[in-house]
Structure 1
Amino acid sequence: MPITSDFHMHSNHSGDSSTPMEDMIKSAIDKGLSEICFTEHLDLDYPDTPDLPPEPFTLDVPSYKKELFSLKDKYKDKITLRFGIEIGMQAQVTKENLAIAKSDSFDFIIASQHLVDRRDPFYPDFWAPDTVENIFNRFFDQTLENIKLFSEFDVLGHLDYISRYVPEGDTTYSYERFADKIDPILEYLIANDKGLDVNSKVLAYSDILPPNPCPEALKRYKELGGALITFGSDAHTPDKIGCCFDTIRQIALDSGFTEYYTFENRKPVAHKL
């Protein structure tokens, strides 16, 4: 069965998107999706970057919720809309993140590691001070530390996110290379009934890079007893909604999964793959 739910997307309520929410909804309907969840960015204490305004990911939750619920009613006969959030984890803002996660009636919360030592791997100068090996190890160490600190989430976003931005010439990322760092993350998620965001964004831009998590890490999650997976395009524009879902569905099937999940009121709902 095709995947009919996209549970990771953004609109102009996120600091890195300028797309009106309604345009995202119309595109999802046109693509035949039956359910979507907006997961607008909240990333507190984000570093200054050359191409974004100061504090770009301080989400105005009331404004976001007001528009979403208005559109939810408008399109109720065509698509189901869910109220989600993607919270960027950093140890120093854990208290604030927990308060925001508990402050409203979110359907779904993604916890994501976007930074290493308050620096953004998207920018080339991030990689200059250290080796790729050390930086990856630090990224996974901080991911494990933060999911232990920040408990109010449903799935971990794009587990190996940092692999998207490895400098040209280093193509050696693999699950096997960092298994000793990744396995403790997977084991902790499983023990605490947390899931994985199976994220197709990279596939829309690259024929070389794997999705996040890479197929081997997703298979390992299943081998260890993991069951909760959601599918998300991480779309910031209408054309990317549901991108490459056939590919990540097959990866999930090859990994042994027979179901994927959506969320309502923070409760998982199973769907056949």
Structure 2
Amino acid sequence: MRPPDNHVHTRWSWDTPDSSTMRQACERAVRLGLPSIAFTEHLDFTVWHEDDAATSQGLVDRHPAHQLPIDVEGYAAELEECRDRFPDLRILSGVETGEPHLFAASVTAHLRRTPVDRVLGSLHSLSLDGRLVGVGRLLYADPAGTMRRYLAEVVTMIETSDVFQVLAHVDFPRRYWPGGTHRYVEKTYEEEYRAVFRALAGTGRALEVNTSSPLASVDQVRWFHEEGGEAVSFGSDAHQPTAVGQHFDVAVDVVEAAGFRPGRDRFDFWRR
């Protein structure tokens, strides 16, 4: 049983090429036999509301600041076109909110204007000298310290933001690990992971198994299960159509070995 792909980007995300269309992503999903796909475009802020925590914390900008707003009209039009074209594929609208705990007012205003079906919560950046800096840029000076700081900030994000349904790529910094991802030792950060998973389990929200990042181990997903985690979501984090549903067969094996099974129906999260 193939799970839904709950984390897909298209040309409506600022970091995704114009050639990556929803139609191509849907065609790939249908070929793979996926029951549904969620187009979760990046919702990141370079200008934010005065009521956001980012303001009260004294943050003034991002570095680098390539993020752009979502063209919500263009996004909505292409989404409806695909829903008409692929009636047997469930197609969800969505966003991936970067640092939602820092931008609660801005996120709320966006979702009030443009409601969506699926909201992912992500941490891509940490604060440094009044700026939000991409975590990959912070790793080289102090990999272990940055990773621990990152996971502690994820706990804060979970505890202070309830806007998202799924925690995306919990070990995002692994993608940029100095010397290569093979040098990352997951076990070193077990207690920090478990703190994240306890916090997430306490809210009943889902943990994403991201198949674009270095794939989560059975141990990591089992830690979530042992800490009371209830649900797992699969996400390719595709930024091109050919990556939709990538490595899902292996991801299913990982999730099943950790103690999760298909949910209430084929569109559901997998559950304990």
Structure 1 length-normalised TM: 0.83
CA shift, 1:48, in A, is 4.2
**What is the identity, as a one-letter code, of the residue corresponding to 1:5?**
P
Quick one: which of 204, 215, 218 aligns to 1:193?
Answer: 204
Equivalent pair of 1:231/1:260 in contact (CA under 8 Å)? no
Structure 2 length-normalised TM: 0.83
How many matched pairs? 252
Distance 1:184 1:83 in 2: 30
Quick one: which of 238, 250, 253 aligns to 2:253?
Answer: 250
With over 3 angstroms needed to count, the CA separation of the structure-2 counterparts of 1:162 and 1:57, relative to structure 1, is: farther
Q: How does 1:98-247 map to 2 (within 5 A)?
A: 98-117=108-127, 118-122=132-136, 125-128=137-140, 130-168=141-179, 171-202=182-213, 210-211=214-215, 213-247=216-250
Distance 2:182 2:86 in 1: 44
CA deviations 1:178-215 (Å, max 9, x no partner) are: 1232222111111111111111113xxxxxxx41x443
Residue 47 (1) aligns with residue 48 (2): no
Quick one: which of 70, 73, 81 aligns to 2:84?
Answer: 73
Equivalent pair of 1:84/1:106 in contact (CA under 8 Å)? yes
Counterpart of 2:8 in 1: which secondary structure? coil
Equivalent pair of 1:91/1:146 in contact (CA under 8 Å)? yes
With over 3 angstroms needed to count, the CA separation of the structure-2 counterparts of 1:65 and 1:233, relative to structure 1, is: same
Match of 1:15 in 2: 14
Distance 2:169 2:235 in 1: 9
Distance 1:169 1:101 in 2: 37
**What is the identity, as a one-letter code, of the residue corresponding to 2:117?**
D
Counterpart of 1:109 in 2: which secondary structure? strand
Equivalent pair of 1:44/1:55 in contact (CA under 8 Å)? no
With over 3 angstroms needed to count, the CA separation of the structure-2 counterparts of 1:28 and 1:179, relative to structure 1, is: same
- Structure 1 segments unaligned to the other structure (5+ residues): 203-209
CA shift, 1:44, in A, is 1.2
Equivalent pair of 2:262/2:268 in contact (CA under 8 Å)? no
Q: How does 1:20-99 map to 2 (within 5 A)?
A: 20-45=21-46, 47-49=62-64, 54-76=65-87, 78-89=88-99, 91-99=101-109
**What is the identity, as a one-letter code, of the residue corresponding to 2:119?**
I
Counterpart of 1:259 in 2: which secondary structure? coil
Equivalent pair of 2:24/2:241 in contact (CA under 8 Å)? yes
- Structure 2 segments unaligned to the other structure (5+ residues): 47-60
CA shift, 1:172, in A, is 4.9
With over 3 angstroms needed to count, the CA separation of the structure-2 counterparts of 1:34 and 1:126, relative to structure 1, is: same
With over 3 angstroms needed to count, the CA separation of the structure-2 counterparts of 1:196 and 1:227, relative to structure 1, is: same
